[in-house]
Structures are given as structure tokens and as C-alpha cells.
């Protein structure tokens, strides 16, 4: 009888130790890879907002548009989307003229899709007049697909939605 009690106590101690080790390992993983375990919704929003602030930096009509697209958009988009935009800069978002220019993306909706998110928003256009007096020079609806890739969140697709008031 004593042998059975010792085996039960040993088994219970082993299970407690294994559970404690698992909790510690999960804690270490979260500490080391916090971004991977962060709120996807918040990370998708942050990616789109930060990317949107870069739009005015890319002049699509410049002779070096492809290299500017690579350096400015590279940290925010998937390699596949970046390659497509480098090959055909007219398909990328950015400055098409000196004025108005895309100033930012304001997010209107975020919805989960697969392992990523679909983000709806508006690309806010500006001119020096709006900078001085307030307001905006128009808004272009956009839809983006944001996916986890290489321990960060990246834009895999970007689409402007055609409207009758588009630029």
C-alpha cells in the first residue's frame, strides 16, 4: 500500500513540475516574441497607419520611383506586393502629382480574415491650402489585406476603390 502512495505522490509531483515548466516556457516565448502574440487587430491597425504616413514620400512620376517604393514601402508590405509595385510603379499608392498628395490613411473598419485582417479606410488627400486652413482635399476609399509574416504584420494587398469623386 505504501508503494502505491509513493507512486501517486511521485506522479503528482512530476505533473506539477511539467505544468510549471510549460508555464515558464510560454512566458519566455511571449517575452521573446511579444509582437507575434500581440493583438492582431491592433498590429494590423498600426501597420496600416504607419504605412499611410509614408504615402506622401513616394512620387510615382519620379524616375527613381521603383527604388523609392522599395526603400519607403519595404518595411510595411510583403515581398510579393513590393515586387509588383517596383515592376509597375503606377499600381502603387503615392504622389501622382505635386498636389494634392496622400497624407494618411484613416481606418474605418478592421475585420479578421484567415490569419490576417482586411482593413477598410480612407486615404486622406491634402494640399497646402488644407494644411493652412484645415480640412482635406478629398478622400479615396481603400481596402488592404494585412497578414502576419516574418514575425511582423505586412500589407499583402492594397486596393483603391473607384468613386465618382476620386482625385
pLDDT over 90 (residue 119): yes
pLDDT over 60 (residue 87): yes
Question: First-to-last CA distance in the chain?
Answer: 85
Kindly state the average pLDDT of the residues 140-149. Answer: 98
H or E stretch including 30? Answer: helix 2-32
Beta strand segments in the chain, E:
101-113, 116-126, 138-149, 152-160
pLDDT value, residue 76:
98
In tens, the pLDDT along 145-160 reads 999 998 999 999 999 9
Residue 101: exposure state from Cβ atoms within 10 A (0-12, 13-18, ≥19): buried
H or E stretch including 65? Answer: helix 65-73
- What is the overall mean pLDDT for the chain? 86
Q: What is the pTM of this model?
A: 0.75
pLDDT value, residue 101:
96
Backbone angles phi, psi at 147, to 5 degrees: -130, 150
- CATH number for the region 39-160 comes to 3.10.450
138-149/152-160 β-pairing: antiparallel
User: What is the SS3 assignment for 156?
Assistant: strand
C-alpha cell at 158: 492594397
Confidence of residue 1 (pLDDT cuts 50, 70, 90): low
C-alpha cell at 4: 502505491
pLDDT value, residue 162:
86
pLDDT over 60 (residue 165): no
In tens, the pLDDT along 34-83 reads 444 458 899 999 999 999 999 999 999 999 999 999 999 999 999 999 99
Buried b (16+ CB within 10 A) or exposed e, 127-140: beebeeeeebbbbb
pLDDT value, residue 33:
47
pLDDT value, residue 23:
56
pLDDT value, residue 39:
85
Amino acid at each position: 500500500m505504501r508503494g502505491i502512495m509513493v507512486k501517486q505522490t511521485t506522479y503528482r509531483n512530476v505533473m506539477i513540475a511539467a505544468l510549471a515548466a510549460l508555464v515558464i516556457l510560454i512566458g519566455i516565448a511571449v517575452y521573446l516574441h511579444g509582437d507575434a502574440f500581440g493583438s492582431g487587430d491592433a498590429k494590423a491597425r498600426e501597420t496600416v497607419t504607419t504605412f499611410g504616413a509614408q504615402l506622401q514620400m513616394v512620387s510615382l512620376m519620379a524616375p527613381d520611383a521603383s527604388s523609392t517604393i522599395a526603400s519607403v514601402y519595404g518595411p510595411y508590405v510583403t515581398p510579393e506586393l513590393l515586387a509588383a509595385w517596383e515592376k509597375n510603379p503606377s499600381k502603387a499608392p503615392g504622389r501622382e502629382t505635386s498636389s494634392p498628395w496622400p497624407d494618411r490613411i484613416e481606418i474605418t473598419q478592421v475585420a479578421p480574415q484567415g490569419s490576417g485582417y482586411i482593413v477598410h479606410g480612407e486615404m486622406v488627400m491634402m494640399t497646402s491650402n488644407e494644411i493652412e486652413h484645415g480640412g482635406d482635399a478629398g478622400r479615396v476609399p481603400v481596402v488592404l489585406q494585412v497578414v502576419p509574416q516574418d514575425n511582423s504584420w505586412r500589407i499583402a494587398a492594397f486596393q483603391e476603390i473607384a468613386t465618382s469623386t476620386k482625385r
